């Protein structure tokens, strides 16, 4: 078996480094690992003194001795009580979930107040990914086809479960991830840089001035409009969006590696939101 956690090109390597560097935070804490895959991260968690709880659609591929993995679908409900876990790690999972908002609200349900949700996912916000989408709506132009019914069904074993494990059909960028997380009761606590994408770096000097100016123009156009919210709140939201849009680390990184903090129960969030009335059927 390849030791992906020792390969700097693998996200498992960067997750391992993060966990070891912050092992005191995880010691004796309950950490949900979902999807757990082959269990490498659960084993690392156990080695640093955490209490891993592993879940996956296909637990038969979990190969770590001394740790059990339970079959579960985050979109249905994880077999845990409310506010049970201190951490949730969703490593390379969010891009496979058919309902990302529902999965985030389920993670919120099982997390204690102030708990952390750590998400890693291929970075659909870096410059290379943006160019790939522009050219072919593909994750990597000239090497991967756009999502399709041949390449995008990664696991479909009806003898074990009726659930289907989709490929990267639901790739998500930092802005969509941020808003779905906020609507689920989370806020960004930390963004961890993983590794530089050389294609993004090569394109950076050419594209960054346009990225900066277009996002600045959009920010200035919207920040002072009357939206029914206090001005400080409105500037805070739009300011965070603007900073993420022009963040060189996000534009150059191969992966998104984001730690969110639970600041509200998900069912309390919508009560604070105001609706923007639209006339349906009009463009």
Closest CA to 250 of 143, 159, 123: 123
Q: What dihedral angle (degrees, nearest 10) is formed by the CA atoms of 5, 7, 10, 12?
A: 10
8 Å CB contact between 185 and 112: no
Cα distance between the two ends of the chain: 53
Give the pLDDT of residue 1.
Answer: 44
| Domains of the chain, CATH where assigned | 4-197+252-267 (3.40.50.150)
8 Å CB contact between 259 and 192: yes
Helix (H) / strand (E) element for 16: namely helix 11-21
8 Å CB contact between 165 and 58: yes
pTM to 2 decimal places: 0.92
8 Å CB contact between 86 and 232: no
Tokens matching residue 49: 């003194």
Give the pLDDT of residue 147.
Answer: 86
For 200, residues 6+ apart whose C-beta sits below 8 A from its C-beta are 126, 127, 128, 251, 252, 253
Give the pLDDT of residue 283.
Answer: 53
Give the pLDDT of residue 278.
Answer: 58
CA distance 151 to 171: 14
Average pLDDT, the chain: 92
138 CA to centre of own chain: 19
Burial class (CB in 10 A: 0-12, 13-18, 19+), 113: exposed
**Predicted confidence pLDDT, tens digits, the chain (283 residues):** 457 677 888 999 999 999 999 999 999 999 999 999 999 999 999 999 999 999 999 999 999 999 999 999 999 999 999 999 999 999 999 999 999 999 999 999 999 999 999 999 999 999 999 999 999 988 888 788 888 898 888 887 787 777 787 888 889 999 999 999 999 999 999 999 999 999 999 999 999 999 999 999 999 999 988 888 899 999 999 999 999 999 999 999 999 999 999 999 998 987 777 766 555 555 5
Give the pLDDT of residue 13.
Answer: 95
Give the pLDDT of residue 87.
Answer: 98
Backbone φ, ψ for residue 173 (5° rounding): -90, 175
Tokens matching residue 95: 């891009």
Helix axes 100-110, 174-183, angle to 10 degrees: 50
8 Å CB contact between 93 and 35: yes
Give CA separation, 263 vs 31, 52, 258, in Å: 18, 23, 15
């Amino acid at each position: 078996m390849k030791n992906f956690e020792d390969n700097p090109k693998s996200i498992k390597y960067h997750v391992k480094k993060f966990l070891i560097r912050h092992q005191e935070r995880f010691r004796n804490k309950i950490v949900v690992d979902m999807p757990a895959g082959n269990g490498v991260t659960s084993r690392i968690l156990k080695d640093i003194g955490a209490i891993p709880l592993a879940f996956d659609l296909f637990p038969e591929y979990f190969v770590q001795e001394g740790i059990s993995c339970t079959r579960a679908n985050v979109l249905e409900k994880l077999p845990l009580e409310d506010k049970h876990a201190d951490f949730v790690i969703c490593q390379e999972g969010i891009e496979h979930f058919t309902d990302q908002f529902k999965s985030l609200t389920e993670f919120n349900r099982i997390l204690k107040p102030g708990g952390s949700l750590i998400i890693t996912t291929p970075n659909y916000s870096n410059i290379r990914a943006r160019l790939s989408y522009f050219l072919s709506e593909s994750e990597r132009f000239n090497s991967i086809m756009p999502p399709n019914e041949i390449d995008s069904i990664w696991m479909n074993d009806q003898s074990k479960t009726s659930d289907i494990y989709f490929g990267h059909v639901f790739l998500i960028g930092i802005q969509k991830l941020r808003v779905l997380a906020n609507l689920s009761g989370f806020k960004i606590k930390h963004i961890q840089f993983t590794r530089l994408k050389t294609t993004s770096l090569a394109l950076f000097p050419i594209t960054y001035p346009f990225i900066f100016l277009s996002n600045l123009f959009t920010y200035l156009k919207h920040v002072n409009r009357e939206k029914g919210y206090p001005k400080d709140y409105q500037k805070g939201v739009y300011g965070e969006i603007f900073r993420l849009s022009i963040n060189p680390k996000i534009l150059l990184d191969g992966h998104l590696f984001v730690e969110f903090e639970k600041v509200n129960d998900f069912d309390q969030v919508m009560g604070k939101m105001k609706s923007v009335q639209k006339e349906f059927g009009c463009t």
